[in-house]
Structure 1
């Protein structure tokens, strides 16, 4: 278990892809990691746990189910987090324009990528230390200013909504000294990003963690990419 000198990160959505990579990276840096998976079956994260020396705790939560999020908060209520990183998200029908998408698919993606992550942040931010960092995985595709080509229309809309909701949330937190980040990981070769991505998980994740380290303690909200550069809203 964590000692007083060991920093703790909660990684939400860590069964695969970027979330799994984040859990591995924080472990490699000596952190205590609490990482969540949605189902009850064995995942790649469980394989990591076998060699983590007791520094990886796996929790089960579906962030689309509010009662599960509240129950997880109750289980972790006595823990102190240095970093909360919400990495969960989905992408569907990237090739369809908005007029081709049915309402159910649209709603499902907006709930997964915008509503549920922000609800999680709202419930869990009190466990993050006053000088800690709250991070939500956004995307360069969530930038309205940089959208000059279209495509990935539901996904773009969901990440732009995430950005807006985070901005509204932080605006309501008068006197909050925590740092809040929306992170663009780049186009990464994952199940979601596909094989044509320009970055591997092993390239994107360490840089993202470096950015979180560099920004922690500065307070306020920023939308940054994995290199630490500001992304246009």
Structure 2
């Protein structure tokens, strides 16, 4: 592992938590792993309130335990919908990475409502999903650009990739237009397709700064979003994503890949 720092959003459960667990086990883990949680107080308060709250709180306790056992893991509060807090959040990140900048921003936090077909979809579902899955990652990338550019400058002797500076957007094959053979899922599909085109634009705009931008499909994973019938467990997907992350090069810039490193069509 060459990257010195990585920030992953949405780490209190699912793939975000899986990525943190995988990274701390690396032979040479990043010196700073910044894991975000939407609301630290609520995550703690929900312990014991009900079965769902207990599960969420227990997962947050697992993240806390990782941070207590690994001094390179830092937990910060971040609600990706609350863009007004992003500048203050960026200052908190700066205090952690200091003059080394931020090597990797992994926009992992996401949302998928249960609506499927056109007769069921609601306008607010579309708006909420776009705010979390599309607007949040774009605006967070903007807020963290100074830290990403600083990492690129500090590591200018490295080629384009995660050891220099990179933004990785968690997308999905459901956001691929050419792979859509089943329809439905309007909020999720549309928001992720929009994230894909944002990835492409960012890859063009930021290449001159030495920052790579790509998007990845984690597979159909056993998470709260993916459901219990998904064929891939969190650990397998996370390991594949970390392997892909560490092998990023110029060919990945502005492209769409699976967790196994296979190119996907837009």
| TM-score between both structures, scaled by the size of structure 2 | 0.80
Q: Which residue in 2 is equivalent to 1:189? A: 222
Of 87, 109, 120, which aligns to 1:100?
A: 120
What displacement does 1:6 show? 7.1
Q: Which residue in 1 is equivalent to 2:50? A: none
Residues 1:27 and 2:47 are matched in the alignment:
no
Q: Which residue in 2 is equivalent to 1:45? A: 63
Quick one: structure 1 residues 201 and 14, their matched pair in 2 at CA, closer, same or farther if it must change by over 3 Å? same
Distance 2:104 2:205 in 1: 20
What displacement does 1:66 show? 1.6
What displacement does 1:33 show? 0.6
RMSD: 1.8
Q: Secondary structure at the match of 2:223?
A: coil
Asked if 2 retains the 8 angstrom alpha-carbon contact of 1:25 and 1:205, the reply is yes
User: For residues 51-81 of structure 1, what are the alpha-carbon distances to aligned partners after superposition, in whole Å with 9 as ceiling and x for unaligned?
Assistant: 22x1111001112112211111012235222
Residues 1:203 and 2:233 are matched in the alignment:
no
What displacement does 1:173 show? 3.1
| TM-score between both structures, scaled by the size of structure 1 | 0.91
Of 64, 74, 80, which aligns to 2:81?
A: 64
Q: Which residue in 1 is equivalent to 2:246? A: 213
- Write the mapping of 1:71-220 to structure 2, written as runs, cut at 5 A: 71-77=88-94, 79=97, 80-94=101-115, 96-128=116-148, 129-130=151-152, 131-173=164-206, 175-216=208-249, 220=253
Q: Secondary structure at the match of 2:192?
A: helix
Asked if 2 retains the 8 angstrom alpha-carbon contact of 1:132 and 1:217, the reply is no
Q: Secondary structure at the match of 1:97?
A: coil
Distance 1:200 1:187 in 2: 9
Unaligned runs of 5+ in 2: 45-59, 153-163
**Counting helix residues as a fraction of each chain, which structure ranks higher?**
2
Unaligned runs of 5+ in 1: none
Asked if 2 retains the 8 angstrom alpha-carbon contact of 1:177 and 1:219, the reply is no
Asked if 1 retains the 8 angstrom alpha-carbon contact of 2:20 and 2:35, the reply is yes
Q: Secondary structure at the match of 1:190?
A: coil
Which sits farther off after the overlay, 38-47 or 193-202? Answer: 38-47
Distance 2:68 2:11 in 1: 15
Distance 1:57 1:217 in 2: 29
Q: Which residue in 1 is equivalent to 2:158? A: none
Q: Secondary structure at the match of 1:166?
A: helix
Which sits farther off after the overlay, 160-169 or 201-210? Answer: 160-169
Asked if 1 retains the 8 angstrom alpha-carbon contact of 2:106 and 2:169, the reply is yes
Equivalent residues, number:
227
Answer with 1 or 2: which has the greater Rg: 2
Quick one: structure 1 residues 20 and 214, their matched pair in 2 at CA, closer, same or farther if it must change by over 3 Å? same
